[in-house]
Amino acid sequence: MFWKGAVFTREGFVGKGIDLESCSIVDNIDGEENGIIIPLFRNCHTHLGDTLARKEMPNNLSLSELVGPNGWKHKWLENNDQRASAIAGLKEVVNSGTGLVMDFREGGKAGLDVFDNIEYPGKLILLGRPVGNEELTGINAGISSLADVDNAVEITLSARDKNGLIGIHHSENEREDVQPLLDLKPDFAVHMCYASDDDLKKIKANNISIVVCPRSNHYFGNRPPLEKMIELGIDIGIGTDNGMLCTANIMDEIHFIRREYDSLGLETILSIACFGLDDIFNKDGTSTYSNLEPSGWILLSRVEEDNYESIFNPNTEILGIRWMN
């Protein structure tokens, strides 16, 4: 079995299709085109545990009232079935052809346990957050914000000891001093909406990657300087952030980015969506996460002659997903 169609890779579109058995790109197939083939997406920042809060979420709260340490979301999480919510979020992830999810888990060990025995055909990376002064459970750390966390140094040291990944929310709603972030040497920072050009240069010089979540930021009237991040050559990933605010569908996110960032090329946006945070996953040959690819392929319907315009046309549909384990 084959899918016939142009195949998107790091080098742009190549080949004539893919062999569904081996998942390899082939150069010779007969017959009609099936559509356009792109790699599975990477969703580099989610909070899937609040997906089912989407219908109930009040729409008049500020960022801190909604997701701050004592905010609406945390009360919702205490009183609702996070497991059902995580499953609902993962369904969006699977149905949108996403092969990698990096989920920030609140609530210590119990928060990590929410995902126990939930099947997902892609790679799920959970980044835990200790409750109070507890020790880090799991190997990766997802820190809410340095302003809210007293023991960030201990948490990052512990994750480093375990060869885990470290991600930190930063400069989401206002500019925060970048130096404390640099001192912790996280693998990536999330948001950076208010990072100055100088902050971004320091981030780049320190080999820190950035995950942007433009739809979520837009909800609170914020906007990450994605153009500048790309210009500086920063390793970038795209995330969909809180499930209650945005779908976990990267296609929705890149369609939004296309509308809001009209100076960016479509190939650049698509590359970030498919190959985001590549520097993290290939930092050194021994990294736990260095062998992420290939994770599989998505077959999209062709709705326009130009491959990129077709992918970014809101009418394109997912015709098939080939997971590769």
Number of residues located near Zn ion, criterion CB under 5 A: 1
Report the residue number, 92 or 293, with the smaller CB distance to Zn ion: 92
Helix, strand, or coil here: 46? strand
CB of residue 278 to Zn ion, shortest distance in Å:
21
CB of residue 44 to Zn ion, shortest distance in Å:
11
| CA atoms of 179 and 84, how far apart (whole Å) | 39
Report the residue number, 241 or 278, with the smaller CB distance to Zn ion: 241
CB of residue 46 to Zn ion, shortest distance in Å:
8
| CA atoms of 235 and 280, how far apart (whole Å) | 8
CB of residue 322 to Zn ion, shortest distance in Å:
30
Report the residue number, 235 or 241, with the smaller CB distance to Zn ion: 241
| CA atoms of 92 and 243, how far apart (whole Å) | 10
Report the residue number, 97 or 142, with the smaller CB distance to Zn ion: 142
CB of residue 259 to Zn ion, shortest distance in Å:
22
CB of residue 45 to Zn ion, shortest distance in Å:
6
Of 146, 115, 49, 100, the residue nearest 238 (C-alpha):
100
Looking up tokens 């990096």 gives: 102
* Token pair belonging to 165: 């990944």
Residue nearest Zn ion, CB atom distance = 241
| CA atoms of 60 and 73, how far apart (whole Å) | 13
**Looking at the DSSP assignment, which residues form a beta bridge with residue 2?**
19
CB of residue 169 to Zn ion, shortest distance in Å:
5
Report the residue number, 7 or 226, with the smaller CB distance to Zn ion: 226
Which residues contact residue 244 at a Cβ distance below 8 angstroms, ignoring those fewer than 6 apart? 50, 51, 52, 53, 54, 57, 73, 76
| CA atoms of 90 and 42, how far apart (whole Å) | 13
Of 51, 55, 57, 89, the residue nearest 71 (C-alpha):
57
Kindly write out the interface string for residues 208-247 of this chain, putting x where it contacts Zn ion by CB under 5 A and - elsewhere: ---------------------------------x------
Report the residue number, 7 or 155, with the smaller CB distance to Zn ion: 155
Kindly write out the interface string for residues 66-95 of this chain, putting x where it contacts Zn ion by CB under 5 A and - elsewhere: ------------------------------
| CA atoms of 165 and 185, how far apart (whole Å) | 11
Kindly write out the interface string for residues 273-312 of this chain, putting x where it contacts Zn ion by CB under 5 A and - elsewhere: ----------------------------------------
CB of residue 241 to Zn ion, shortest distance in Å:
5
**Length in residues, the chain:** 325
Query: Which positions from 87 through 146 interact with Zn ion, judged by CB under 5 A?
Result: none
Of 97, 118, 103, the residue nearest 44 (C-alpha):
103
Report the residue number, 25 or 147, with the smaller CB distance to Zn ion: 147
Report the residue number, 176 or 241, with the smaller CB distance to Zn ion: 241
Looking up tokens 């998107």 gives: 8
| CA atoms of 250 and 175, how far apart (whole Å) | 26
**Looking at the DSSP assignment, which residues form a beta bridge with residue 25?**
18
Task: Write out the residues near Zn ion by the rule CB under 5 A.
Answer: 241
